[in-house]
Every structure is written in C-alpha cells, then in structure tokens.
Amino acid sequence: MIPYLGGRLVVLAVTLFAAAAVVFLVLDVLPGDPAALILGVNARPDTLAALHHAMGLDRPAAWRFLAWLGGMLAGDFGDSFTYHVPIAGLIADRVGVSLPLALLAIALSTAIAIPTGVFAAAKRGKPADTLTMAAAQIGVAVPNFWLGLLLILVFSVKLAWLPASGFPGWAGGIWPGLRALLLPALALALPQAAILARVTRSAMLETMGEDYMRTALAKGVSRRAALWRHAVPNALIPVVTILGLQFSFLLAGTIIIENVFTLPGLGRLVFQAIAGRDLIVVQDLVVLLAGSVIVVNFLVDIAYVLIDPRLRAQGGR
Amino acid sequence: MTGWARLGLGIAGIVFACAGPALAQAKDTLTLGMVLEPPGLDPTAGAAAAIREVVYANVFEGLTRIDGEGHVVPGLAASWTMSPDGKTYRFALRPHVTFHDGTQFDCAIVKFSFDRARAPDSTNAQKEIFEPIAAIDCPEPETAVITLKRPDADFLYGLGWGDAVMVAPQTAAQNQTTPIGTGPFRFTRWVKGDRVELARYAGYWGQAARLSAVTFKFIADPAAAAAALLAGDIDAFGNFPAPEILPQLRADSRFAVVIGATEGKTLLALNNARKPFDDIRVRRALAYAIDRRALVTATMSGAARIIGSHYTPNDPGFIDLAATYPYDPARAKALLAEAGIAPGTRFTLALPPPPYARRGGEVIAAMLQEVGLNVDLVPMEWATWLDQVFKRSDFDMTIIAHTEPRDLAIYARDHYYFNYHNAAFQSLFARYRETTDPAAGIDLLRQMQRQLATDEPNVFLYVLPKIGVWNAHLHGLWSNDPIPANDVTGVYWGN
C-alpha cells in the first residue's frame, strides 16, 4: 500500500505542475488585458501603464510564473484582480458552497439511482422495467439548467416553499443553507441519477447471468436475497467508476446550475474569472480542480479495493 | 415555460393579494437586482458601470452630482462661482460633512482626492476629467478654489461622475473592498459572488435616507432574474435583463415597468481606416440598408429610441437626426454599386457578449444580405473585443453601445478604434470645449451632431433602453440612466 501511495503522490505532483504550466501559457497567449478590462474605453495609455505596474503585469512572463508557483508552495495563492482580496479565502468561501452542493447531489443521485437500477434489472423485460428505463432515458436527455428553471417555477414561484436563488451562507445555521441547495442539488442529481440507474441496471444484468447466481438460486436462496447478497456487490464496481467521474464533473461542472440559481460557488467563480481575466484566480482554480480530480480518482481506486476482495488480497501481498 | 410562468404568476398574485399590503407598510428595506457583480467598489479605480450602480450617490458623493434627469446639481459643494475667463472655480463646501468612519470632510479632502486622481501613478479610468486642472487651493477649510489651464465646458459635469467622488486619505486604499464615503448609506458587507449590503448612515449631513438597508443582489442569468423577481426574492431591477417577458410583467399589477433611456448610443461601428469603409458612399449605403425600427422591435421588444447621431435626447442641445438615412434598400444598393462594391462581398462583424450585439448582429446580417452583402458574425468575449477591436483596431464592423455620457470627444481624437478623422469636426470640438457662453456651446453641440450625421462614420442605431421593473409600491427609483447609477437615496415604500 505504501509504495502505491508514494507513486500516486508523484503522479499528483507532476500532473499539478503540468496543469499549472499549461493554464499559465494558455492565459498568457489568450488575447485580453486585465487592466484594459478594468479601466474601460476612456483610459489613457499612462493610466493603463500605471495599472499594469500596480498589478505586476509589466514583469516578464517567466518571472510571473515562478513567482506564482513559489507563492503557492509557500501557501500564498495571490490576490484577486477583481475582488482585491486574497484568493485562498475567496476559494475557501466558494468551496463551502460547491462541495456541499456536489455531495448533496451525489447522495441524492445515488439514493435514487441504485434502487431504481436494481429494481429495473430485477423486473427485466416487464412493463415496470420499460417504464423505469423510459423515465431514465428522459432524465438523460433533459438538460439540467432547464430542469433547474422548471423546479424554480414549481417550488419557488408557484408553491413558494424554497428560495428561487441565492445562498444565505452557513452562518445562519445548517437548515437555511441546505434549503438553498436543495433545488440546485436536485437539478444536478436527476440527470446524473438517470445515467447511474442505467449503468446499475446493465451491471446488474451482467452479474445476474453469472454462474454464481445460478448456483445460489439452485442452493435454494431466495431470488431477492441472491440479488442483494451476490449480484449487487459485484455490480458496484462500474457504478463506483461512474460515481467518481460524476463527482469530478459536479465539482467543476456546476457553472450552469450555479448561474441558474445564482449560487456563489466555484463554477461561477471560474466563469467570472475567465470573463474578467482575473488571471491568478483562474490559474489557482485550474490547479485546485485538477488536484481534486486526481484525489477523487485515488479515492475511487481505494473504493475498488474495499469492494473487491480479490484486489484486497493483491494489495495485502 | 411561458405557461408555467403564467400559472405561477396567477397563483402568486392571489397569495400577494391576501398577504401583501400588511407587509408592504412595515417594509423599509430594499433588495435590488443587478446583472453584473462589480469588480471592486471604488469608482475612482475602475470603469465598470456595476461599481457605480452600487456606490454612486449612495455611498460616495462628489462636489457636484448628476440627478435623474442628467442635470448637474450641487453635491458636497453647496454652490460655486466661475471667473469670467472660465478658468477659476470657487466652491463653497458644505459644513458638517463626515465620512462613515467619522473623518471630517473639508477642502483638504478635495485637494487630496483630485491630486490622487491626476497623479502620474493614478489608475483613474477617466483621468481626462482632471487633465485641465492646474492647481487646487484651500483659502479656508470650507472653500476650494480650482484653477484650470484652459476653460472646460464640461468640467462641472465631469466632477459629477463617479470617478470624481471624494475619498479620505486614511481609507482611499481600502475603498476597493470596504468603501468609506460621505453618502447617506454606509457599506456593511460584501458576500462575494452574491450580494453587497448597505445600511443607513446616521451621521449623514443632508436628508436621511428613508430605507434602513439596501441589498444589491447579483443575478447574471436572465431567466433566473425573472424567476427571482416573480418569486419576490428581488424588489427591483434598475436594468432588467429579460425584455422578452415584459408583456407578462406589464399585465401583472404587482410590478411597475418603466422604460427609460440610458446614455448607451448603440452603433454599427465601422473601421473608417479600412477599405471600403473609408468611402462615404459605402457608409451611407449601410445606413440606408438597416431598418432600425425593425431592429429595435426584434432585439429590444420595441422599447428604444432611434438616433441619427452620436447623441441622446437626455443631453443638452439634442437634435433629432433619426430621419437622415431612412430605410431604403434600393438606394443602398445603388450607392454600393456606385462605390464599386460587388454583390456578395464579405465582411466580418465582431460581436461582444451583450444581447444587443449578439441578437442585433444576426438581424443586421440579414438586412445587409438583402442589399447583397455577406456578413460573417464573429462573437467575442469582452476581453478579446477590447484587445482586437478597441485596442488594435483590427475589424471591419462591430456592434457596440457607447455608454459614456456626452462623449462626442471620441470623434475628435487622433487615435480611436473606428479611425474617424475630420478636421472640421475637430475644430468644432475644440471651440466647444473652450467656450464659456452656454448659448454658443449649445450651437456648437448641434453643429457637431449634424457633422457626424453627414459623415456617418458609424451607423447610429438607437439609444439603449433602461428597462426598470420594480414592485408597484416602490417609489423614487430613476426612470432614466443619465449616468450609470442606482441612486436609492430617495427611495421609499408607499401603499
């Protein structure tokens, strides 16, 4: 396990460095001057030069790259051009929205998808299966922003149960925060659940055809017990793989949902920072997101070991 | 979506009819929606309209201020006199004015603020305003004397801009994150990505604000903005981003829909230095080819005023030149043929992100197709537009709203992205700038408008509307935007 972890850490470091170098280069060649964006169309050249100097943009690119990397290694993520505050605090605030949102969405989607997938597999070919899979097909096709708007119209505008947008923060207690995240989490979870349910169903069908299932049934184990005891655990590996992919997607890919619900999360920060050429914020976020994808993949690998006794045996050797 | 929204509206309307009035009477706070979050909160360190839409008049004040009708009125200067040669202004400053941290306002603050704005390392986006200043003197704490190098007809107007507000030496550097001004509201909190909160300042020198607190909430998505308004999360939008649902809002007695004008002169800007746009026949042909009434109907739900020069009806000396080039595709074709432009010639049209450009671009491309021109639409982000079109002047045509008020000066510049050069216009502008006689000034403003309509360096389209939507019980918001602002100092809830 230790050499395995060590290898993973090296991969992590190399990947992060590569991500940092690539994003810095891309932003450097991308047209658009952050100072020009701040000062607008009436700015005089000397004013632009003064702002370039104040922002450190008059220094060579190599110097800026090394200063940024050095700062990050020392724990200094730099200051935002837009908000004029340290980026570490900015990101920490946003993680406080995006991470609970992603976790809630994953929890909801898993809670909906796995029982649905198992149910559909158990009823294979019957009307219940056809109906469930038709619903899942619709779920896959529905874009999450449209679903988000629909949920707002029903639960906020019509029923007035939940807020239409915004996030009150966690300072006022768990419940107000959770209330604000419920609709966006649902909008994110349903399309994901549809995909996950289909994966669960096909994985289940595959395991249900295995010899050990026939053996279990021949031994006189009830169909239901055989399903939960033997088929479900064996079907979990592809399901966990998809879950891992979905989590990375959720963490970074909530841009649209965060815009629809006006949530101050990471996705919106990335979007605003790119449009506003808040260069260091973009750089920091890319490195952070790349790092989190790697960490999630690592956790998925550990989950395989926990689920699959064969891998456990190899790891212990 | 429309069906759902109508259903929602109906039900919400019933709920409101039962519970609304009792709530409305007690209310003295306001939640105002904005599309863009400001990049910092210091109007002296950035050009973004969003900064002014939060802090102008509410948190920061200048010597003069611009009111809702675009007039220059006294601000922190109670009155002023101008010397006959137009070069010396003597301001009588208001007494008992304090900043939100208790700092006393006096002439030393005026001197500090303007010296900071015109210093070599200044990052003021409108440094031009301060360029004529030769010296600032303080004969006594409540008098400021400003001497100019040359007369400047727009000086008092410029001092009313957000870029010229008063800032205190101890707090100026922190105004980006914690703005401290002299206005009737003080800054309390900025939840980044979500909202800015202001509260009434008890020590305000003038009429106290009637609202006890104001929240500016940032909602970028038009559909989300509409939902937040319908759900009652937002009381008002000074500039509502979804014109397509206006008919629905107009039919709803909960809301007041107020269409006014901004200073946004929307143009089909042409690169006058590039062939064939250096040929006046081609520029006029484009003007004849565009049906501006249809364009406004398609992109702004009909709610916008057509213009024929780079000037809006809010401004002094406005003359209506909208009929200079009526829609006449046959004439456009004839002019193009005369200029030797073969049918099927291709041009690019650069489109920045706002809907007026993206939607307008498609409509204009179709209209130009009618007269035989092919247009390639090139959507761009702001940063790219500023770099490629504005800075490097590398474009054929672009659609852009110039939102700076009274900015005829850009046509007199030696270097500006659309490359218009006319000595006659430059001399008109130079004479206007130095005139101290108001009547002569108005006459020159009219001549400049006519000169631009004749030369048609850009195709002048329409004034960007200000689409205000707010709770019908809310009073005192501006109907027009003579400068970018959400002045809530006089806002109150009625019955």
Q: Mind listing the pLDDT tens digit for each residue in B144-186?
A: 999 999 999 889 999 999 999 999 999 999 999 999 999 999 9
Do the Cβ atoms of B1 and A153 come within 8 Å? Answer: yes
pLDDT tens-digit profile of B253-292? 999 999 998 999 999 999 999 999 999 999 999 999 999 9
Mean pLDDT of chain B: 91
Contact list in A for residue B173 (CB cut-off 8 A) is none
pLDDT of A152: 83
Interface test with B, best of A58, A81, A83 (most B CBs within 10 A): A83
Contact list in A for residue B381 (CB cut-off 8 A) is 32, 275
Alpha-carbon gap, residue A242 to B62, rounded angstroms: 58
Ordered by start, the domain boundaries in chain A are: 2-73, 90-313
Contact list in A for residue B45 (CB cut-off 8 A) is 38
pLDDT at B16 over 60: no
Please give the class, per CATH, of domain B60-170. Answer: alpha beta
Do the Cβ atoms of A169 and B191 come within 8 Å? Answer: yes
pLDDT at B19 over 80: no
Q: Are B52 and B484 in contact (CB under 8 A)?
A: yes
Contact list in B for residue A261 (CB cut-off 8 A) is 224
pLDDT at A89 over 70: yes
Contact list in A for residue B192 (CB cut-off 8 A) is 83, 85, 90, 93, 264
Contact list in A for residue B404 (CB cut-off 8 A) is 41-42
Do the Cβ atoms of B230 and A277 come within 8 Å? Answer: no
The residue of chain B nearest to residue A166, with distances taken between CA atoms, is B194
pLDDT tens-digit profile of A1-12? 566 667 777 887
pLDDT tens-digit profile of A97-112? 888 888 899 999 999 9
The residue of chain A nearest to residue B417, with distances taken between CA atoms, is A41
Do the Cβ atoms of A158 and B12 come within 8 Å? Answer: yes
Contact list in A for residue B51 (CB cut-off 8 A) is none
Contact list in A for residue B384 (CB cut-off 8 A) is 31-32
Which one of A85, A154, A157 has the shortest CB-CB distance to B177?
Answer: A85
Q: How confident is the model at residue A165 (pLDDT cuts 50, 70, 90)?
A: confident
Contact list in B for residue A95 (CB cut-off 8 A) is none
Domain B264-464 has CATH 3.10.105.10: yes
pLDDT of B347: 95
Q: How confident is the model at residue B18 (pLDDT cuts 50, 70, 90)?
A: very low
Do the Cβ atoms of B387 and A164 come within 8 Å? Answer: no
The residue of chain A nearest to residue B12, with distances taken between CA atoms, is A158
CA neighbor of B42 nearest in space, from B54, B24, B28, B29: B54
Do the Cβ atoms of A47 and B124 come within 8 Å? Answer: yes
Instruction: Report the gap between the CA of B195 and the closest CA in chain A (Å).
Output: 9
CA neighbor of B165 nearest in space, from B203, B117, B217: B117
Architecture of the B26-40+177-261+466-493 domain: 3-Layer(aba) Sandwich (3.40)
Which one of B194, B382, B402 has the shortest CB-CB distance to A167?
Answer: B194
The residue of chain B nearest to residue A148, with distances taken between CA atoms, is B224
pLDDT at A84 over 50: yes
Which one of A47, A150, A156 has the shortest CB-CB distance to B127?
Answer: A47
Mean pLDDT of chain A: 84
Alpha-carbon gap, residue B318 to B72, rounded angstroms: 17
Structure tokens at B420: 């218009």
Q: Are A197 and A116 in contact (CB under 8 A)?
A: yes
Q: How confident is the model at residue A253 (pLDDT cuts 50, 70, 90)?
A: low
pLDDT of B26: 64
Do the Cβ atoms of B231 and A157 come within 8 Å? Answer: yes
Ordered by start, the domain boundaries in chain B are: 26-40+177-261+466-493, 60-170, 264-464
Instruction: Identify the weakest region by mean pLDDT among A90-94, B22-26, B28-32, B114-118.
Output: B22-26
pLDDT of A125: 84
Alpha-carbon gap, residue B292 to B303, rounded angstroms: 12
Instruction: Report the gap between the CA of A95 and the closest CA in chain B (Å).
Output: 12
DSSP of A259-310, one letter per residue?
HHTT--SHHHHHHHHHHTT-HHHHHHHHHHHHHHHHHHHHHHHHHHHHH-HH
B64-66 and B29-34: which strand pairing? unpaired
pLDDT at B294 over 60: yes
CA neighbor of B72 nearest in space, from B89, B95, B55: B89
Do the Cβ atoms of A93 and B120 come within 8 Å? Answer: no
Do the Cβ atoms of A163 and B195 come within 8 Å? Answer: no
Do the Cβ atoms of A160 and B387 come within 8 Å? Answer: no
Contact list in A for residue B123 (CB cut-off 8 A) is 38-39, 47, 50-51, 54
The SS3 call for residue B73 is strand
pLDDT of B126: 92
pLDDT tens-digit profile of A32-61? 888 888 888 888 888 989 999 988 889 999
pLDDT tens-digit profile of B179-228? 999 999 999 999 888 899 999 999 999 999 999 999 999 988 888 888 88
Q: Are B389 and B417 in contact (CB under 8 A)?
A: yes
CA neighbor of B112 nearest in space, from B173, B192, B168, B151: B168
Do the Cβ atoms of A94 and B40 come within 8 Å? Answer: no
Instruction: Report the gap between the CA of B104 and the closest CA in chain A (Å).
Output: 27
Average pLDDT rounded to a whole number, residues B388-404: 92
CA neighbor of A211 nearest in space, from A237, A236, A234, A241: A234
In this structure, what DSSP letter does residue B105 have? P
Average pLDDT rounded to a whole number, residues B421-439: 92
pLDDT tens-digit profile of B47-99? 889 999 999 999 999 999 999 988 999 999 999 999 999 999 999 999 999 99
Do the Cβ atoms of A260 and B224 come within 8 Å? Answer: yes
Instruction: Report the gap between the CA of A181 and the closest CA in chain B (Å).
Output: 14
CA neighbor of B331 nearest in space, from B288, B380, B395: B288
Average pLDDT rounded to a whole number, residues A230-246: 82
Element (H, E) at A212: helix A211-218
Q: What percent of chain B has pLDDT above 70?
A: 95
Interface test with B, best of A87, A97, A146, A153 (most B CBs within 10 A): A153
pLDDT of B276: 93
- CB contacts < 8 A, A to B, total 171
Interface test with A, best of B128, B386, B416 (most A CBs within 10 A): B386
pLDDT tens-digit profile of B345-369? 999 999 998 889 999 999 999 999 9
pLDDT at B14 over 80: no
Contact list in A for residue B122 (CB cut-off 8 A) is 47, 50
Between residues B427 and A4, the one the model is more confident about: B427
Q: How confident is the model at residue A261 (pLDDT cuts 50, 70, 90)?
A: confident
Architecture of the A90-313 domain: Orthogonal Bundle (1.10)
pLDDT of B449: 97
pLDDT of B3: 42
Do the Cβ atoms of A259 and B218 come within 8 Å? Answer: no
Interface test with A, best of B118, B129, B194, B378 (most A CBs within 10 A): B194
Those residues with Cβ within 8 angstroms of residue B192's Cβ, 6 or more apart along the chain or in another chain: A83, A85, A90, A93, A264, B37
Structure tokens at B301: 């739900």
